Amino acid sequence: MAEPGYKDIEQLMNDDFSLLRKQADQVCREHYGNKVFLRGLIEFSNYCDMDCLYCGLRRSNKHVQRYRLEVPDILSIVKKGYNAHMRTFVLQSGEDPSYGINKLCELIKKIKIETNDEAAVTLSCGIRTKEEYKILKKAGADRYLIRFETSDSLLHVYLRNGITLKRRLQAIDDLKSCDFEIGSGFMVGLPGETKATMIRNALLCKELDLDMIGIGPFIPHHLTPLKYSVQSPIEQTLRLVSIIRLLLPEANIPATTSMGTLDPYGREKALQAGANVLMPNITPASYKKSYLLYPGKICLEENGFECINYLDPKIKSVGKEISFDIGYSKHFIKKGVYNAAKNERLETRNN
């Protein structure tokens, strides 16, 4: 779509969804065929210094049993994932300063060795300084996920308990300048949002020229100040997945766990509406149940890799198939940053 404006997105928000979905599905298949990239998600620490009003891991929630996985524990999960043919690992945590930069770098370097440099490392650990992002990139991290959550600056500062949208966007800018493949996105249906917010959220994804866009429904958590919020219907998220696919045809778009939590067929529906990525949670079952950003998360009982077997028929049911490819975003490759970043890493290693 060439230079879409507010009115264009508004139109798409009102269009017949079955047509919009088909169009987005077609665009997705044009760029990614019937492939669904798999990412192994490892929730390595649920300690968080932040107090986001929407999140079950917020520091004021004293009912969370906090844990932090050590480097050898994470490496053993990665090894299993690598043997199961996974070629991307997403390391997610709260904003945990105790997981310092040196420890993260050690982890990244060891993952690269463990996977014969065949796997991508994606980080999702919140806001850090530009200097730290630079060091993480140099250590071998490839990608970074950091949602802007909502484009409404007043709502943002309220829901993130004092942290501004400007600061979040600064982090995205910093990551870009360090040549990360960059993913961002938003939650759908946060309290206080209107249709106009959702339109602006979609436009901001385009403006940020993202390589990956993760969106998912906001699901109220009973141990947060937002416990009495109204749940937005899954259809709203699915519609936004389709709109984002049309706005950024070559981006990677995951069918997120929160979609599967809200609707048992949520992820399949997303894969039919323009999504092309799945992120099975390979965190050991004993820790998964303590990483509840929102309640009711699926696959809590499965011990990580069983999720893959469970996902296979789901993916086939929508006429797609699992791809164990490293799964770069075509959008990222086209920007030319990919080759520059790869060469820089090889140079660093050879010196």
Residues that bind ligand SF4 (CB under 6 A): 48, 50, 52, 55, 57-58, 94-95, 126, 293
Residue 58's binding partner, choosing from ligand SF4, ligand SAH, none, with beta-carbon cut-off 5 to 8 A by kind?
A: ligand SF4
Determine contact, residues 47/93, Cβ cutoff 8 Å. Answer: yes
Residue 47 or 265 with smaller CB distance to ligand SAH: 47
Q: Which of 227-257 are b and which e, b meaning 16 or more Cβ less than 10 Å from the residue's Cβ?
A: eebeebebeebbbbbbbbbbbbbbbbbbbbb
Of 69-77, 144-152, 169-177, 279-287, which part binds ligand SAH (CB under 6 A)?
144-152
Q: Is 298 helix (H, G, I), strand (E, B) or coil?
A: coil
Q: Which of 294, 328, 332, 338 is close enough to bind ligand SAH by CB under 6 A?
A: 294
| Chain centroid offset of residue 275 CA | 12
Q: Does 311 bind ligand SAH (CB under 6 A)?
A: no
Count other Cβ atoms within 10 Å, centred on residue 14: 11
Residue 82 or 144 with smaller CB distance to ligand SAH: 144
CB of residue 26 vs ligand SAH: minimum separation in angstroms?
28
CB of residue 94 vs ligand SF4: minimum separation in angstroms?
4
Q: Is 53 helix (H, G, I), strand (E, B) or coil?
A: coil
Count other Cβ atoms within 10 Å, centred on residue 309: 11
The span from the CA of 339 to the CA of 57, in Å, is 37
Of 65-73, 191-199, 215-223, 324-332, which part binds ligand SAH (CB under 6 A)?
215-223
Q: Which of 32, 78, 90, 95 is close enough to bind ligand SAH by CB under 6 A?
A: 95
Find the binding residues for ligand SAH in span 251-280 (CB under 6 A): 258
Both tokens assigned to 81? 């994932």
Residue 107 burial by CB count (10 A; 0-12/13-18/19+): exposed, middle or buried? Answer: buried
The span from the CA of 282 to the CA of 296, in Å, is 17
Number of residues that bind ligand SAH (CB under 6 A): 18
Q: Does 61 bind ligand SAH (CB under 6 A)?
A: no
Of 74-82, 113-121, 142-150, 323-331, which part binds ligand SAH (CB under 6 A)?
142-150
Name the residues that contact ligand SAH, by CB under 6 A: 54-55, 92, 94-95, 124, 126, 146-147, 149, 187, 216, 218-219, 221, 258, 293-294
